[in-house]
Amino acid sequence: MIKTLLIILSILPINSALAIDKTSNTNHQAIVDIIDPPNSAALNIMVSALSSLKELRKQKNATKQNVEALIRLKLLPNIAISVSTKIALSKYWDNLNIQQKHFFQYYISESLIQDYAKILSGYDKLDSVHISVDPNVKRKGNKAIVKLIININNNPKPNIISLKMIHLNTWHVYDIVFSGVSIVKNYRAQFNSYIKRKGVDSLILKSKKKLERLSK
């Protein structure tokens, strides 16, 4: 959210201006929550991707390449890759140059695409998948945690997936937690361990080789 700094000469106008600005920001946030709540955004992202995948299957066009294209089109624009990557690189992020930062953003994007493509391409019973959202959303500033409830074959014990979201003009996902495992924290553990032992350049070289293998 863009914060405007108001410079006024007398103390009374300063207080008045800040009060107006605060009220404006509060009203703006209230409007955003009404027209673009995080739980609705999360549900729309997942349902849209699932519907598109069902259509590909219906047309018998759900090849690995087409599923990857679907993920790039439907899911990737809704992921805050820059936020995810900064968290994943944690204490090393500020010391990376622009090229290194861009590479790790690219690496995480491509890794997610490949991982999801394998999962979605191999799942046959899409019509038995039902996605709903827990109405109880945890909010703090421009961030939210939304729980998705995924039922498969009317299983009495559904899968629960938590989406960590951030509002950047619209809601974006920056982390996914399943069975207590955070995707971004998993990347962070791998990156930190490898960088500590062999350095950033070695990690980039290893990551490039992994992407080459995944793309085959």
Q: Could you give the CA distance from residue 71 to residue 146 in angstroms, rounded to a whole number?
A: 20
**What is residue 19's predicted lDDT score, i.e. its pLDDT?**
42
Go through the domains of the chain in sequence order and give each one's CATH number.
Answer: 11-214 (3.10.450.710)
pLDDT at residue 206 greater than cutoff 90: yes
Distances (CA, A) of 154 to 73, 96, 131, 145, 197: 29, 47, 11, 25, 47
Q: What confidence score (pLDDT) does residue 67 get? A: 85
- Report whether 41 contacts 173 (CB < 8 A): no
The contacts of residue 25 (CB under 8 Å, 6+ apart) are: 1
pLDDT at 125 over 80: no
> For residue range 13-36, what is the model confidence (pLDDT) as tens digits?
333 333 445 455 555 555 555 556
Taking the chain, what is the end-to-end CA distance rounded to the nearest angstrom? 41
What confidence tier does 9 reach under pLDDT thresholds 50, 70, 90? very low
